[in-house]
């Protein structure tokens, strides 16, 4: 059965590869990017490669929470239901350390933006058919510090990246409990995949990008994963596994969500 799928950060890397795989199976796929030209070019390429005309896209800079909110409104105006949301957009290196909202760039793009987008789209997701939300975490996971989350303390890019990815994972566990009718799966798609982000950050890679795209495709479509809401998939091991200890603390998860909501309240 054809699904309606939205993939953030899908004009290149594993997001684009995943979109192509899903489009080739006949699904209706919405891509997302921050550059209008790249979004349009990606839509055209995927349509041609998949022979699927049901491809469209949305434009938003995830460093701006106002832009994320505007995109969520556009999605709700355009779609009547959403079966799969893959929160793939992410950033490691950036010339600009902080956003116009005063947030750390990695924390904003990797965690707060997908949090805002997903919570805004919950009405559509609840109408979906066996809805799945796939959140891209990482093997890099570090305890979230309130001042880093709020953008009042500067840390290294590696450290804030790791904190942002644990924050996304902790929220995924929280969302899985909060919305038991939805399947929420956080995933490490694989360490040092051959993507532009990895090339910019490290200058080398360990595995092909398709390793990440393949697991995202499977998590989004394979019926066997429907019962794994709130479980962490580690694609370095090729199986579900144990995440950072903080992710299993209800107290820390609740504190994270409360703090996140306050940050968004102050911005929007």
Q: Which residues of 103-117 are buried (b: 16+ CB within 10 A; e: fewer)?
A: bbbbbbbbbbbbbbb
Question: In a 3-state reduction of DSSP, which class is residue 266?
Answer: helix
From the centroid of its chain, how far is CA 32? 11
From the centroid of its chain, how far is CA 56? 18
CB 39, CB 61: distance < 8 Å: no
Q: Is 248 a catalytic residue?
A: no
Cα 245 from Cα 29, distance rounded (Å):
35
Tokens 């707060």 -> residue: 112
- Residue of 30, 111, 115, 161 with catalytic role: 161
Cα 232 from Cα 187, distance rounded (Å):
6
Structure tokens at 144: 């979230």
Cα 246 from Cα 142, distance rounded (Å):
9
Q: Which residues are catalytic?
A: 161
């Amino acid at each position: 059965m054809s699904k309606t799928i939205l993939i953030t950060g899908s004009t290149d890397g594993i997001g684009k590869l995943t979109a192509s795989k899903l489009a080739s199976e006949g699904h209706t796929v919405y891509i997302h990017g921050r550059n209008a030209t790249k979004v349009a070019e990606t839509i055209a390429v995927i349509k041609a490669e998949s022979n699927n005309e049901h491809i469209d896209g949305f434009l938003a800079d995830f460093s701006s929470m106002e832009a994320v909110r505007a995109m969520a409104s556009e999605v709700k105006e355009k779609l009547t239901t959403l079966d799969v949301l893959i929160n793939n957009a992410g950033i490691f290196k950036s010339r600009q350390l902080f956003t116009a909202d005063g947030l750390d760039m990695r924390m904003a793009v990797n965690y707060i933006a997908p949090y805002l987008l997903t919570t805004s789209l919950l009405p559509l997701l609840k109408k979906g058919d066996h809805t799945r939300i796939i959140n891209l975490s990482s093997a890099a996971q570090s305890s979230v510090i309130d001042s880093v989350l709020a953008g009042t303390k500067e840390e290294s890019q590696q450290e804030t990246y790791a904190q942002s990815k644990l924050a996304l994972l902790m929220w995924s566990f929280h969302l899985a409990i909060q919305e038991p009718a939805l399947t929420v799966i956080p995933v490490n798609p694989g360490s040092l995949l051959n993507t532009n982000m990895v090339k910019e950050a490290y200058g080398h890679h360990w595995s092909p990008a398709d390793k990440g795209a393949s697991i995202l495709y499977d998590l989004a479509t394979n019926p066997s994963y429907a019962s794994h809401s709130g479980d962490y998939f580690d694609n370095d091991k090729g199986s579900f596994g144990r995440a950072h200890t903080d992710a299993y603390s209800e107290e820390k998860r609740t504190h994270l969500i409360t703090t996140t909501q306050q940050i968004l309240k102050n911005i929007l």
